[in-house]
Amino acid sequence: MQNLQEKVALVTGASTGVGEEIALHLYQCGATVFITGRNEISLQTAANKIDQSGERVIPLVMDVTSHEQFKAAITQIEQQCGALHYLVNNAGITGPHGVTIEDYPLADWDAVIATDVSGTFYGLKYGLPAIVRAGGGAVVNLSACNGVTGIAGISPYTAAKHAVLGLTRATALEYAQKGVRINAIGPGYVATPNIMNLPTETQVWMASTHPMGRMATREEIAKTVAFLLSDDSSFITGAFIPVDGGYTAQ
């Protein structure tokens, strides 16, 4: 387990699923973790579940599609803890599935791009200067296996996750000599609580798309994030790390 003692992290979209597990693992590694989400009740529930003391997991109700709210969150973290060392841009939505581009609702396109692309951009825009002020640190952006492949029926999500890689690589170059490393990971299907509530045949199909024949666990994603934030990956920046059981190797 990585040593993140005395570090401060921000994980967006962390009230459930992969984001919640990332927050839990960073907390277990010793970090103080701010978690964001739009639903105050579910966010507080997640914070209480991870840290019953309420001292090292702090919920921030925030919508990543609002640059004002993102900027205010970074300011609050710096005022409350004195620094921000790590940022995990996890918040994202997939939008409708199985819809061709000609039939794709414009409102859903706007929502996916606002959350997945603009939300990541705002995190980098306001988070990176804060990390520099703290003396350096690292960022992990959540792309997906279809950040490097095409998947029919979810073209906006596919476009968004490709865009996350572009933001990752460009900002990694901009901050390579400023003490901040910026990387992206590409999960395949992950066995989150929501996925495990889907019909069994759907879960079987999802698992079958990975050459390893199963879905990722949330812990496997969280441990990869912690590695990329930690000094154990001190010479890795601008990278895309698939965590997809071989999906993108096909």
Which candidate in 27, 122, 126, 157 is catalytic? 157
Residue 63 neighbours by CB under 8 Å, 6+ apart: 38, 69
Minimal CA–CA distance to 64: which of 141, 130, 7?
Answer: 141
Q: In the annotation, is 157 catalytic?
A: yes
Alpha carbon of residue 188 to chain centroid: 13
Q: Which tokens hold the place of 139?
A: 């960022």
CB 10 within 8 A of CB 36: yes
Q: 111: buried, middle or exposed (CB in 10 Å: 19+, 13-18, 0-12)? A: middle
The phi and psi torsions of 216 (rounded to 5 degrees) equal: -70, 150
CB 32 within 8 A of CB 77: no
CB 58 within 8 A of CB 32: yes
From edge to edge, which strands make up the β-sheet containing 57-61?
A: 57-61, 32-37, 8-11, 86-89, 137-142, 180-187, 240-243
Q: Which tokens hold the place of 67?
A: 């640059």
Active site members: 157
